[in-house]
Amino acid sequence: MRIDLHTHSVASDGTETPAEVMAAAAAAGLDVVALTDHDTTRGWDEAGAAAQRLGVALVRGVELSCRHAGRSLHLLSYLHVPDHPALLAEAERVRAARQSRARRMVDLLSEDFDLTWADVEEQTGADATVGRPHIADALVALGVVPDRSAAFDELLAAGSRYWVPHHAPELVDAIDLVRQAGGVPVLAHPGAPTRGRAVTEAEVAQLAARGLAGLEVWHRDHTDAEQLRLEALAERFELLATGSSDYHGAGKPNRLGENLTSDDTLTAIEEAGRLEVLRS
Ligand code: AMP
Ligand code: ZN
Ligand code: FE
Ligand code: FE
């Protein structure tokens, strides 16, 4: 089976609606796809209805913004109960913090560019989790940069004078919340160089002991050597190893199905998760 466990829609910073992501997944020949918008499950219902129509199996998920040892890390959760009060409250807190952070970044950018908050709102889906990609899209619309990636290269990069951090839960606390909500916590792109230091062996050991279920090993932000390192760490600490595209529609070069997850790993995720994979 062709299984891709990491995608984004306009519920966060993808460029396609949840139904369009499902249609793109079917067109890419995927059998199973996960929708994992940043800090929200608002795309689940639309994605579920479209997936059933299209004959694609849907893994309902989310990508939670977290912090660990001074850096920003992302935690994927699969098949958790979406209305678990504590997990939902934390996700909503992050979404609110992302909103004020984006406004502060726009304030800083507006000192040098003709950018307003309304320009960013125009690029952001209704009730979407706002992120730097929406600011990037506004800068593209103004002709400041040619595309999202160019905006991320300098203006929006961590370390840029326009960059502002936002609140996010401690990774170990987020792992606890995901487990309480019946989800399967998998660390997203743990060796991506733009996020700061790659996750170390000692950290993986500690996180595995705290309930982490898996590592996203096969991801385009990892070098071949990094994928081998992470695969070995997953094996050593008895963690699942996933592969995914991190598709954002037209917003990123990532193509659906460019990395895949094995059938056995999906079975293990489904056994550990509270919800079922939606199959038509
Ligand atoms: P933020 O969530 O606000 O910190 O913004 C970072 C997010 O932008 C990452 O999680 C990526 O998923 C997303 N992103 C979308 N398009 C790009 C791009 N072209 N380059 C880098 N990051 C991108
Ligand atoms: Zn994203
Ligand atoms: Fe991510
Ligand atoms: Fe992502």
Model confidence pLDDT, tens digit, residues 46-85: 999 999 999 999 999 999 999 999 999 999 999 999 999 9
Q: How many C-beta atoms lie closer than 10 Å to residue 24's C-beta? A: 20
Residue nearest to atom 5 of ligand 1 (CA): 132
| Ligand 1 close to Cβ of residue 248 (< 6 A) | yes
| Ligand 1 close to Cβ of residue 14 (< 6 A) | no
DSSP H helices in 111-162: 117-123, 132-141, 148-153
Locate tokens 């800090």: which residue?
A: 39
- pTM of the full structure: 0.98
Estimate to the nearest angstrom the gap between the alpha carbon of 103 and the chain centroid: 21
Element (H, E) at 68: strand 57-68
| Spatial contact of 124 and 98, defined as CB atoms under 8 Å apart | no
User: What is the best residue among 62, 100, 148 to mutate for testing ligand 1's pocket, by most ligand atoms within 8 Å of CB?
Assistant: 148
The pairing of beta strand 57-68 with beta strand 32-35: parallel
Q: Per-residue confidence at 196, pLDDT binned at 50, 70, 90?
A: confident
Q: Please report the pLDDT score of residue 195 as a whole number.
A: 81
CA distance 249 to 123: 14
User: What pLDDT, in 10s, does the model give residues 129-168?
Assistant: 999 999 999 999 999 999 999 999 999 999 999 999 999 9
